[in-house]
Amino acid sequence: MTTEHHIFVCCSFRGNGAPQGTCNKQGSVNYLPYLEEELSDRDMEGIQVTATGCLQVCDRGPAMVVYPENWWYGNIKGEGDIDAVLDSIENGEPDEAHLL
């Protein structure tokens, strides 16, 4: 399967795996299983989800980035906001409400 999109989710891990940072403290790690489940439910293929270290937009987190579109999203506060991010990929239009 070819990767057409990549979603990077800030989980603000330290090098040793210890959690830190605002995105992690706001539960961004919990977004990973929801993303995978929702991608499956929507039959969205070719989308890779990766947990990252700090994306340097902490004051506007939880944050994620969609490539190759280079859409930087912030204030992702739960499943509804994740749905909006996935909608944006499906529609090919950025979710203006969360765009940084």
The tokens describing 12, both together, are: 């603000």
Q: CA quadruple 36, 87, 69, 60: dihedral positive or negative?
A: negative
54 binds ligand FES per the rule CB under 6 A = yes
Please tell me whether residue 61 binds ligand FES under the rule CB under 6 A. Answer: yes
Q: Which listed range, 40-48, 58-66, 79-87, 90-98, lies at the site for ligand FES (CB under 6 A)? A: 58-66
* Cβ atoms 13, 53 nearer than 8 A: yes
55 binds ligand FES (CB under 6 A): yes
Residue 58 in tokens: 């902490």
Select from 7, 9, 35, 57 the one that contacts ligand FES (CB under 6 A): 57
- Closest to 64 measured CA to CA, from 49, 79, 80: 49
Q: Tell me if 10 contacts ligand FES by CB under 6 A.
A: yes
Exposure string over 37-60, b if 16+ CB within 10 A, otherwise e:
ebbeeeeeeebebebbbbbebbeb
Quote the least distance from Cβ 59 to ligand FES, whole Å. 8
Among 22, 42, 69, 79, binds ligand FES (CB under 6 A): 22
Interacting residues with ligand FES (CB under 6 A)? 10, 12, 21-23, 54-58, 61, 63
